[in-house]
């Protein structure tokens, strides 16, 4: 048997007993045998999981928002999540005993096809690998953005994804990357990542602006930062929230472009050569830098999830679990097996 965290109602959750197998069962074959995994850590994707937890997934997106191994249906009860790191306890020889990443919800043990797990590369600690789904989103966003050598880039919104996007973009030769967030508390982690942090920027000559704040005001700021014929990549997902887009002012005269980016689809230019598994392997390799530990701002035991999730959603008990909701980036869940 195994235990898993379920969203049971608006801002409510519970740990439930279940079975190793995903339901309906994920199909294992002779070419793709099953592996059993004992979870070591999982990560909370605060943006998406907060929307799920707060019943903010619009009905029109119930199917497209399903996680790979989700159980239940929106709005609830639903077992949701996609950042699990564990150790293979049973499976083919090439995987047995290895630490792996899997797009699985918060659960102590599970059984999936071998193709659903990606071994961690040498040099990547299991505790940091919970950032893999966020790094995969950042990689996909930059594929969609197609930054060039020397581009002047602004990243608006410094949650985990925004910080990773800015960090990756800053490693492209010649780029000038400005990392923007209205929260001055983000400066410390931006400095650790070697980023030029600002709470406000007057320059309107950026070639590329990537918006990842999750707030409509951030998109308005992005439109003000981009120069003639510039492009804005919208990485925020707003759930059921209506978002006004200011398309007056200089939007038309500057011939600006707004394009969405969503990790559920590979960039069409990559599709002929890349599979989803390749993208995840790349994300894991990119996490082999100790500085990225700064994006993990707290951790709690698995058993605390029913109290932790409301706190991360802005509830009064957040200080029991680490930094304030405004300062929390990735919160890591620890599985203490007895």
Per-residue pLDDT, 46 = 81
Tens-place pLDDT, residues 66-111: 999 999 999 999 999 999 999 999 999 999 999 999 999 999 999 9
Judge whether 235 lies within some domain: yes
Instruction: Look up residue 17 and give its two tokens.
Output: 């007993």
For 162, 238, 324, 329, the CA distances from 186, given in Å and listed in that order, are: 11, 21, 12, 10
Same domain, 214 and 171: yes
pLDDT computed for residue 106 by the predictor: 98
| pLDDT of 186 higher than 70 | yes
Q: Tokens in use for 54?
A: 């707060």
pLDDT at 47: 79
Most confident of the ranges 59-68, 161-170, 258-267: 161-170
Task: Evaluate if residue 318 carries a pLDDT over 60.
Answer: no
Rounded Cα gap, residues 192 and 318, in angstroms: 24
pLDDT of residue 246: 85
User: What residues form DSSP beta bridges with 299?
Assistant: 332
- How far apart (Å, rounded) are the C-alpha atoms in residues 160 and 83? 13
For position 12, what pLDDT does the model report? 96
- The pLDDT of residue 43 is 97
Residue 292 and residue 241 in one domain: no
Distance CA 91, CA 60 (A): 38
Q: Give yes or no: residues 143 and 121 share one domain.
A: no
The Cα–Cα gap between 125 and 288 comes to 8
Q: Calculate what percentage of the chain has a pLDDT beyond 90.
A: 81
- What is the rounded average pLDDT of the residues 292-314? 94
Indicate the pTM of the whole model: 0.93
Per the prediction, the chain carries an average pLDDT of 93
Rounded to a whole number of angstroms, the CA Rg of the chain reads: 20
Q: In which domain, by residue range, is 38 found?
A: 2-128+287-334
Is residue 271 situated within a structural domain? no
Res. 290: pLDDT tops 80: yes
Of 240, 277, 238, 233, whose CA–CA distance to 138 is shortest?
233
- Is the same domain home to 7 and 122? yes
Least confident of 141-155, 265-279, 311-325: 311-325
DSSP states of 39-89 as a string?
A: EEEEEE-HHHHHHHHTT---GGGTTTT--TT-EE-SSSSEE----EEEEEE
Domain count of the fold of the chain: 2
Residue 278 has pLDDT above 80, yes or no: yes
Q: Are residues 12 and 107 in the same domain?
A: yes
Instruction: Note whether residue 270 is domain-resident.
Output: no
Query: Are the C-beta atoms of 148 and 165 separated by less than 8 Å?
Result: no
In a domain, 278, yes or no: no
**121 with 40, same domain?**
yes
Q: How far from the centroid of its chain's Cα atoms is residue 334's Cα?
A: 18
Residues 123 and 142 in one domain: no
The pLDDT > 70 percentage for the chain reads: 94
**279: preceding bond cis by omega (within 30 degrees):** no
End-to-end CA distance of the chain: 14
Query: Which DSSP state fits 161?
Result: H
Per DSSP, the three-state class of 279 is: helix
**322: alpha, beta or left, given left = phi > 0 and alpha = psi -120 to 50?**
left
The pair of three-digit structure tokens given for residue 222, joined into one six-digit string:
């992005």
For residues 11-33, give the mean pLDDT: 82
pLDDT attached to residue 320: 64
CA–CA distance, 51 with 313 (Å, rounded to integer)? 9
Q: Does residue 276 sit within a domain?
A: no
96 located within any domain: yes
Note whether residue 248 is domain-resident: yes
Q: Using an 8 Å Cβ cutoff, are 159 and 141 in contact? A: no
Is 20 among the domain residues? yes
d(CA 131, CA 47): 14
Q: Are residues 293 and 225 in the same domain?
A: no
- Judge if 51 and 162 occupy the same domain: no
Please tell me the predicted confidence (pLDDT) of residue 70. Answer: 96
The Cα-based distances of 231 to 121, 211, 244, 262 in angstroms read 35, 11, 18, 16
Both 151 and 76 in one domain: the answer is no
Select from 260, 295, 326 the last residue of a domain: 260
Model confidence over 224-270: pLDDT tens digits?
999 999 999 999 988 778 888 888 888 999 999 999 998 988 999 99
């Amino acid at each position: 048997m195994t235990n898993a965290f379920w969203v049971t109602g608006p801002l409510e959750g519970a740990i439930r007993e279940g079975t190793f197998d995903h339901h309906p069962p994920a199909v294992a074959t002779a070419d793709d045998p099953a592996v059993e995994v004992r979870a070591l850590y999982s990560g909370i994707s605060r943006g998406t999981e907060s929307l799920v937890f707060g019943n903010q997934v619009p009905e029109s997106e119930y199917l497209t928002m399903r996680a790979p191994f989700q159980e239940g249906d929106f709005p609830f009860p639903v077992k949701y999540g996609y950042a699990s790191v564990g150790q293979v306890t049973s499976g083919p020889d090439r995987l047995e005993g290895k630490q792996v990443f899997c797009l699985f919800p918060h659960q102590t043990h599970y059984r999936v096809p071998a193709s659903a797990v990606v071994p961690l590369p040498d040099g990547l600690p299991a505790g940091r690998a919970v950032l893999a789904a966020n790094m995969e989103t950042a990689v996909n966003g930059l594929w969609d953005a197609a930054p060039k050598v020397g581009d002047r880039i602004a990243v608006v919104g410094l949650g985990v994804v925004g910080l990773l996007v800015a960090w990756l973009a800053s490693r492209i030769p010649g780029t000038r990357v400005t990392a923007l967030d209205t929260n001055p508390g983000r400066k410390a982690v931006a400095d650790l990542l070697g980023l030029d942090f600002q709470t406000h920027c007057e320059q309107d000559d950026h070639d590329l602006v990537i918006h990842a704040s999750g707030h409509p005001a951030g998109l308005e700021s992005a439109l003000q930062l981009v120069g003639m014929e510039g492009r804005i990549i919208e990485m925020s997902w707003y759930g059921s929230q209506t978002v006004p887009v200011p398309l007056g002012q200089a939007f038309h005269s500057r011939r600006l472009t707004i394009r969405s980016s969503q990790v559920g689809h590979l960039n069409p230019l990559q599709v002929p050569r890349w599979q989803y598994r390749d993208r995840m392997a790349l994300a894991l390799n990119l996490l082999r830098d100790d500085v990225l530990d700064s994006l993990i701002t707290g951790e709690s035991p698995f058993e605390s999830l029913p109290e932790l999730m409301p706190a991360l959603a802005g509830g009064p008990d957040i200080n029991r679990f680490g930094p304030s909701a405004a300062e929390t980036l990735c919160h890591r869940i620890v599985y203490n097996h007895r």
